[in-house]
Amino acid sequence: MISLDTILAAHDRIRPHIHHTPVLTNHTIDEQTGASLFFKCENFQKIGAFKARGGLNAVLQVADSREGKAIATHSSGNHAQAVAYAARQVAMPAYIVMPRTAPQVKKEAVRGYGAEVVECEPTQAAREAGVQAVMAQTGAVLVHPYDDDRVIAGQATAAVELIADYNNPPFDLILTPVGGGGLLSGTALATHYLSPTTRVIGCEPAGAADAVLSFESGRLESAPYIDTIADGLTARLSERTLGYIRQHVSQILTVPDADIVAAMRLVWERMKIIIEPSCAVPLAVVLRYPDLFRGKKIGIILTGGNVDLGKLPF
Amino acid sequence: MISLDTILAAHDRIRPHIHHTPVLTNHTIDEQTGASLFFKCENFQKIGAFKARGGLNAVLQVADSREGKAIATHSSGNHAQAVAYAARQVAMPAYIVMPRTAPQVKKEAVRGYGAEVVECEPTQAAREAGVQAVMAQTGAVLVHPYDDDRVIAGQATAAVELIADYNNPPFDLILTPVGGGGLLSGTALATHYLSPTTRVIGCEPAGAADAVLSFESGRLESAPYIDTIADGLTARLSERTLGYIRQHVSQILTVPDADIVAAMRLVWERMKIIIEPSCAVPLAVVLRYPDLFRGKKIGIILTGGNVDLGKLPF
C-alpha cells in the first residue's frame, strides 16, 4: 500500500520539475450540469499531460538509487514524452520503444526531449520484447506507464494539489478517466488520505470498458471490444491498480464516443482550452448522468492536451 | 483625452461583470523567441474576448444616465456579443445590426445573450443605415465598437490588470493587435499612466494595413487591400483612435497571414489554449522580427478565443 507520506514525498521530489497547475471553473458548464465543477488543468502540465508527474517520480528515484544506467519504457502516448522529459532532467539516457506505425509527430516529440526511439512491430508482444532487448543491451531500468507504485504515487500529486487548493468545503466527488488505472489509483489514494468524505469515480470509454467489468467481478477482465477516440485509455488495469481501485474507488461509469467528442468540443468552445479526447471522458460522464451529479461539488482532473490538430473529430 | 481616473473608474464599474483574467507564460516559446513573454488571457474573458470590457463600460454608463431606452450597434464579431452580454447585465434591450450573410452561429450567440439580431445587406452603408433605423424606432443609443471614449477606457482595463499583476520589473514592451484601434488606444493610455517606461507596439495583419500607413502619415489612410484570416482586425482607425495611437504608441508592425496561422498554431500546441487568428498577430510579430524583441520583457494581450471549430486554418 502507498502511504500518505510516500505521496507527499513524491510531491516534494517532483515539485521543482512540474507546474502547480491552475484550476478553472466555467459558469456556462455549471449552469448546464447543475453542478459546481473544478477543472484541474493538467493539460497545462509539462509535456502537456499529468503523466509528467508519475514519470518524474519514478525516474528521479532511479537516478538517486543508481539502480540503472538508463530508463526504458514502451508507449506511443504521453508516458513516452513523460519519461523522455524526466530522463533529461537527470541527464540519463532514455529508450522509448514505439510501434513503427506511431505518428511521426509523436516520435519527434520524444526525440525533442533527447530520448532515443526504438521502433518495433505494432503488437503488444513486440513492444514487450523490444523493451526487454533494450534493457539487456543498455542496463536500462523499466518505468512502466502505470503498473508501478512510484508512478502511481506521482500521479496522486495532481489530486494533492487540487485538494490543497480547493477543498473548502470538501469535494463531494473527484472524477478521473481510467485506462491502465495509474491516475485513478493515485487520485483515490490521495483522496482517501486527504479528504476522506470525498468519493472518487472512474470514467471510462464504452469502447475500452475493461475497468468497469474488472471492478465488478474483482478479476482482470478484457474489454468486450476496443474502439474509441480516447486513445490514451485503451490499456488494461493491472492486478496492482485493480486492487487500489477496488479498495478506494466508489464507482466506474462508461460513456460512448459521441459523448466524449461533444464534451471535448464543449470545453474547447466554452473554456477556450485544448484537451485531448481521453481528457473529456469525466465531463462526458457528468453530462450523460446528470442526476448523479446535480448540486454536487466536483473535482475533475483534465488529464492532457496533446492532440493532432490535423485530425480533429469536429 | 481619457484620464487615469476615467480608466480606473471604468475598471471599478465593470469589475463585478468581468473576469480578472490570468497571465500565462511558456518556457518553449520564450526559448524560441529569446524573449520573456507574458500572455494576458482575454480569451478566457466573458464572451471569450476583451470586448466585454469596453461594451460593459459603455452600456453600464448608458443605463446609469438613462440617456436611452436600449442599446444598438452593428458588428458581426465579438463586439456584438459584448454589447448583448452587457445589455443583459442591466436588463436593457439590445439591437445588433448584422449582415444577413454573417454565420448563423454568431447570430445564435447574440440571441443567446437575449439581444435582437436585425439583419441587413452586407455593406457598410447598409449596416450604418440599419443602426440609424433601429435608433429612430426604438430610442436606442449607439455603442460604437471603438470610436467611443467609454469603450476605449473599458478596453484599457486589460492593461491595468496586466501592469498591476506583473510589472515588477517593468515591461519593456506591451503588444496588442490593431483593427479599429480601441484596444491599442486604451492599452497605450493605461501604459502611459501606469508604466511610463514601457513602450506599446501595435500589431497589424499585412492584409488590413491601414493603421501602419495612417500612423506614418498622420491622416486616416485606407488599407491597400483587405484580405486576411484575422477577420477581427479589418476595421479602419477613426480620427479619435489615430490621435491616441499617434500620441502614445511607439510603432506599428505588420505580418502576413502565414505568420499569423503559424503563431496561432504554436499557441494551441504549446500553451494548450484556444485563440482566434486576430489574437495571434502580436506573437506573429515577435516571431517575425526577433531582433526587436530578444532579451525583452513583453506583455501580450491575447484578445480572444472565438473560433469556428468547423473552419480551422490547419
Q: What's the grid cell of residue B239?
A: 480620427
Do A4-50+148-302 and A52-142 come out as alike in CATH topology? yes
Instruction: Provide the shortest C-alpha distance from residue B250 to chain A (in Å).
Output: 31
**In this predicted structure, what is the pLDDT of residue B284?**
98
How far is Cα B203 from Cα A213, in angstroms, rounded to an integer? 56
pLDDT at A112 over 90: yes
Q: Is the pLDDT of residue B83 over 90?
A: yes
Task: Look up residue A114 and give its three cell numbers.
Answer: 533527447
To the nearest whole Å, the CA of B310 is away from the closest chain A CA by 6
- Calpha distance A26→B287 (Å, rounded): 32
The predicted structure's pLDDT at residue A67: 87
For A121-130, A200-209, B183-192, which range has the lowest pLDDT when averaged over its residues? A121-130
How confident is the model over A74-93, as a mean pLDDT? Answer: 95
What proportion of chain B, given as a percentage, has pLDDT over 90?
93
Which CATH number is B4-50+148-302 given?
3.40.50.1100
Instruction: Provide the pLDDT for residue B222.
Output: 97
Q: Which chain A residues are within 8 Å of B24, Cβ to Cβ?
A: 44
Instruction: Inspect the interface and report whether the beta carbons of A309 and B269 lie closer than 8 Å.
Output: yes
Q: Where are the domains of chain B?
A: 4-50+148-302, 52-142
Chain A residues touching residue B275 (CB < 8 angstroms): 272
Q: Is the pLDDT of residue A248 over 90?
A: yes
How many other C-beta atoms lie within 10 A of the C-beta of residue A294? 11
Half-sphere exposure of A96 (CA within 13 A, CB side): 33
Q: What's the pLDDT tens digit per position in B1-18? A: 899 999 999 999 999 999
Residues of A with CB under 8 A from a CB of B: 22, 24, 43-44, 48, 265, 268-269, 271-275, 305, 309-310, 312, 314
Residues of A in contact with B44 (CB under 8 A): 24, 271-272
Question: From B311, which residue of chain A is nearest by alpha-carbon distance?
Answer: A314
**Residue range B202-229: mean pLDDT, rounded:** 98
Rg (alpha carbons) of chain A, rounded to whole number: 18
- Nearest 5°: the CA angle B219, B222, B225 is 155
Q: Has residue A134 got a pLDDT over 90?
A: yes
| pLDDT value of residue A188 | 98
Angle at A205 between CA A201 and CA A211, to 5 degrees: 60
Q: Do A273 and B272 touch (CB under 8 A)?
A: yes
Q: What's the pLDDT score for residue A124? A: 84
For position B102, what pLDDT does the model report?
86
Q: pLDDT averaged over chain B?
A: 96
CB contact under 8 A, B305 and A272: yes
> B-chain residues within 8 Å CB-CB of A273?
272-274
Taking residue A181's Cβ as centre, other Cβ atoms within 10 Å add up to 32
CB atoms B48 and A274 under 8 Å: no
Q: What mean pLDDT is reported for chain A?
A: 96
Q: Which residues of A touch B274 (CB under 8 A)?
A: 268, 272-274
**pLDDT reported for residue B67:** 87
Retrieve residue B249's grid coordinates.
504608441
pLDDT grade, residue A126 (50/70/90)? very high
- CATH topology for A52-142 is Rossmann fold (3.40.50)
Q: How confident is the model at residue B149 (pLDDT cuts 50, 70, 90)?
A: very high
Per-residue pLDDT, A106:
86
Give which of B105, B272, B279 to mutate to test A binding, by max A Cβ within 10 Å. B272
pLDDT of residue B104: 85
What pLDDT, on the 0 to 100 scale, is given for residue A16? 98
pLDDT given for residue B273 in this prediction: 98
Do residue B273 and residue A269 have CB atoms under 8 angstroms apart?
Answer: no
pLDDT value, residue A115: 97
The pLDDT of B117-137, averaged and rounded, is: 93
Of A152-161, B96-105, B150-159, B256-265, the range with the lowest mean pLDDT is B96-105
Contact A261, A313 (CB under 8 A): yes
What is the model's pLDDT at position A158?
Answer: 98
Nearest CA among A136, A62, A125, A122 for reference residue A92: A62
Q: Is the ipTM of this complex over 0.90?
A: yes
